[in-house]
Amino acid sequence: MSTANKKEVLDVDMCYMAMGLSIGDSPEQVELKYQRLIELCKKETLSPDPKVRETAKNNIVLFEKAYDRIKTSVTYQTTVKEYEKKRREKPPQAETIKMKCALIHCPSCNALIGKALKSCPACKADFRTKIERFSDSYLTKTRVAVFALLVLVGVMVCLGFYYQDQIETVVESLKK
C-alpha cells in the first residue's frame, strides 16, 4: 500500500471515529448518524451562550467535512456496492430451502402433529414406544421407592450375615 493510500485510509478512519462510527457500519447507519449529529448541532446553534453557538457551528463544519470525506472514500463506495448487491439478490426459492421440520404424520390418521407429542390430538391415538409405555406403567415413583427400600434391606441382611460375629460383640457390649 502506498503512502498516499495509507494516509487516505487513516483520514477516513479518523472521520468515522469523529462521527462515532466504525468502517464496517452500513451506509444507512452512516447517513443516520450524520443526520443526528447535524440535528444536534443545529439545536445547539440556538443556544443563548455565544461559545456554545460557535462550537456548534464549528462542529457542523467538521461533521460535514468528515461526512464528505467518508462518502467519497473508496471504502465507503465499496460498502455501498456490497449493500446494493445484497438488496438486488432474490431470496432463495421455497424449493431450495431445506428445513428440519418439527412435524410428523400420525401413524393412525396421517394428520400433521408435533414430534414431541405422545398422542394425536385429532384421533387420540397413543404412539409412544414400548420402552416409554413400560416406564410409564411400571416405573412409577412409588414402585421405584419400594424397590430401593427392598434393595437396602437386602444389603443390610447380607451384611448382617457376613459380619455376624462383630454384630454380636457390639450387641453384647451395649447390653452391659
Q: Tell me, what's the pLDDT at 146? A: 94
Q: Give the Cα separation of 105 and 108 in Å (integer).
A: 9
With a cut of 60, say whether residue 114 has pLDDT above it: yes
Longest dimension (CA), the chain: 104
pLDDT in tens, 83-112: 888 878 766 555 555 556 677 777 778 877
| Nearest residue to 7 via CA among 54, 73, 63 | 73
Backbone angles phi, psi at 123, to 5 degrees: -105, -5
Is residue 57 within 8 A of residue 64, CB to CB? The reply is no
Residue with cell 464549528: 58
Backbone angles phi, psi at 24, to 5 degrees: -80, 0
- The half-sphere exposure of 175 on its side-chain side, counting CA atoms within 13 A, is 6
* Per-domain residue ranges of the chain: 3-88, 140-176
pLDDT in tens, 129-141: 788 878 888 888 8
Under the banding of pLDDT at 50, 70 and 90, the label for residue 127 is: confident
Alpha-carbon torsion (81, 83, 87, 93), positive or negative: positive
The residues, any chain, with a CB within 8 Å of residue 75's CB and separated by 6 or more, are 9, 12, 23
Question: Which of helix, strand or coil describes residue 103?
Answer: strand
With a cut of 80, say whether residue 69 has pLDDT above it: yes
Residue with cell 461559545: 51
Amino acid at 127: F
Average pLDDT, the chain: 81
Q: Tell me, what's the pLDDT at 99? A: 54
Q: Tell me, what's the pLDDT at 101? A: 62
Under the banding of pLDDT at 50, 70 and 90, the label for residue 51 is: very high
Amino acid at 88: R
Q: Give the angle subtended at the CA of 48 by the CAs of 43 and 49, to the nearest 5°.
A: 100
